[in-house]
Structure 1
Amino acid sequence: MANEYVTLEELKSQLKIEPSDDTRDADLNRARASASRSIDKTTGRRFWLDPEPVTWTFNPRGRICREDDGDLFLVDDIGSEEGLVVEVGSGANWSAVTDYETSPDNALAKGQPITGLLRVLGTWGIATARLRVTAQFGWPTVPDDIQQAALIQATRLFKRKDSPEGIIGSAEWGVRNLSRRDPDVWALIEPYIIPGF
């Protein structure tokens, strides 16, 4: 799969493997993919952006928050307003919605995704309908923290073949078990975990 958060070249550099050495590329690419998808699963989101707008349909149940200034419909991360279309309805009957604001304010300008659609001083009023959103889902750009976490995790996964029983050794500190979770990776991705995920 594409959309890994660390390149093959970055991983080779981290592991001190010559760029021209392609004998381990298959293993390195598996480590890159596994690290990236693991971050997606742990955070409950993905940090790559759809190349073109796609259409997703949302059930409103549990996704509407009553705010002081209107109803906020929580959507999966949207990384671009280009091609953004919002519709309410079901089946073959859909109506365009244009009187909404994206939330949080200035998200895309800050390199963050849009996570909600706010009906200012209004309601979505869709008890039985659905919300259909056409957008480029994901993040505008991969955050540096996520790229670094993927690099650390991919390096760890690649080296894991040398510790099949989960035990590593060193002349300096002897033999010890690998921890289940890398504390540096966790510290980098924890702020990106969707609350309640």
Structure 2
Amino acid sequence: MANEYANLATLKAMLDLEVGDNSRDDLLNKALSAASRGIDRVTGRRFFLDGEPTARVFNPAGRVVCDASGTRLLLDDLGAAPTLVETGSGSSWTATTDYETGPDNALVRGRPITFLLRPSGGWGSGATRVRVTAAWGWPAVPDEIEQAALIQAARLFKRKDSPEGVTGSAEWGVVRVSRRDPDVWALIEHFILPGFG
């Protein structure tokens, strides 16, 4: 598996499973993967970093915010400073260097860069596009996301023991398994992009 937000050994410890017992590793890995991709879907972003920089093209229309500090181009999450920023369209592109990344100190705080600021000037209009080459994603998986992935993976793994969403015990009786885990939601809700969740 790749790009899970927690590791198998930690999940096994959380479930009180022997580290050397690999008989359920396939199920546990699938649960970790499903939990991680589920967090991606709900939040509208991903928390792993690309291995190599790739180029993405953005239309400034609807992605530009102007204020006293300048013109901001809102981007997908960047986990590292851009290696190249260009404006243009089609086969005609011009490198741009008069921008700042933001928010300030984002990468130092383990957060992604989410916009490029041009203190004087805009990002173009009409057919003009902005091509950004960077490693996309987050610089590191936040602790809250790792914990949410562990809780959700454990829940998914145990789901096989609660057919039709019902679980129970002699002491507590029958209980319906809730659709959304409140602890997972509390951990991830402040990472959700507007329009998702």
2:43 pairs with 1:61:
no
Q: Structure 2: how far apart are the matches of 1:23 and 1:45?
A: 33
Q: Measure the CA separation in 2 of the matches of 1:20 and 1:107.
A: 39
Question: How far did residue 31 of structure 1 move?
Answer: 0.2
Q: Once the two structures are aligned, what percentage of the paired residues are identical?
A: 61
Name the residue aligned to 1:73.
73
CA RMSD of aligned residues (A): 1.1
Moved more, 163-172 or 99-108: 163-172
How far does the alpha carbon of each residue in 1:44-103 deviate from its partner, in whole angstroms, 9 at most, with x for none? 11000011111111122211111222110000000111x521111111111111000011
Residue 20 of structure 2 is matched in structure 1 by 20
| Aligned amino acid, residue 59 of structure 2 | N
Matched letter for residue 20 of structure 1: G
Whole-angstrom distance in 2 between the partners of 1:80 and 1:117: 13
Matched, 1:164 2:134: no
Q: Does 1:48 align with 2:43?
A: no
Q: TM-score, normalised by structure 1?
A: 0.96
Q: Which runs of 5+ in 2 are unaligned?
A: none
- 2:60–2:124 CA contact under 8 A, matched in 1: no
Map 1:39-188 to 2 at 5 A: 39-81=39-81, 84-188=83-187
**Distance in 2 between residues matched to 1:66 and 1:172, nearest whole Å:** 60
User: SS of 2:55's equivalent?
Assistant: strand
Asked if the contact 2:123/2:130 (under 8 Å) is kept, the reply is no
Q: Partner letter of residue 43 of structure 2?
A: T
Distance 1:187 1:106 in 2: 26
Structure 1 distance, partners of 2:194, 2:115, is: 14
- Secondary structure at 2:32 match in 1: helix
Which portions of structure 1, spanning 4 or more consecutive aligned residues, are displaced by more than 6 angstroms? Answer: none
SS at match of 1:110: coil
Give per-residue Cα distances to partners, 1:119-162, cap 9 Å, x unaligned: 10321123311111100111111000000000000000000011
The one-letter code of the counterpart of 2:9 is E
Query: Residue 22 of structure 2 aligns to which amino acid in structure 1?
Result: D
Residue pair 1:11, 1:151 contacting (<8 A) in 2 also:
yes
Paired residue type of 1:3: N
Equivalent position SS for 1:176 = strand
What 5-or-longer segments of structure 1 have no aligned partner? none
Cα distance in 2 for partners of 1:106, 1:126 equals 29
- Asked whether the 8 Å contact 2:61–2:125 carries over to 1, the reply is no
Q: Name the CA distance, whole Å, in 2 between partners of 1:61 and 1:172.
A: 59
More moved, 177-186 vs 116-125: 116-125
Look up the SS of the partner of 1:122 in the other structure: coil
Question: Normalising to structure 2: TM-score of the pair?
Answer: 0.96
Contact kept, 8 Å, 1:88 with 1:126, in 2: the verdict is no
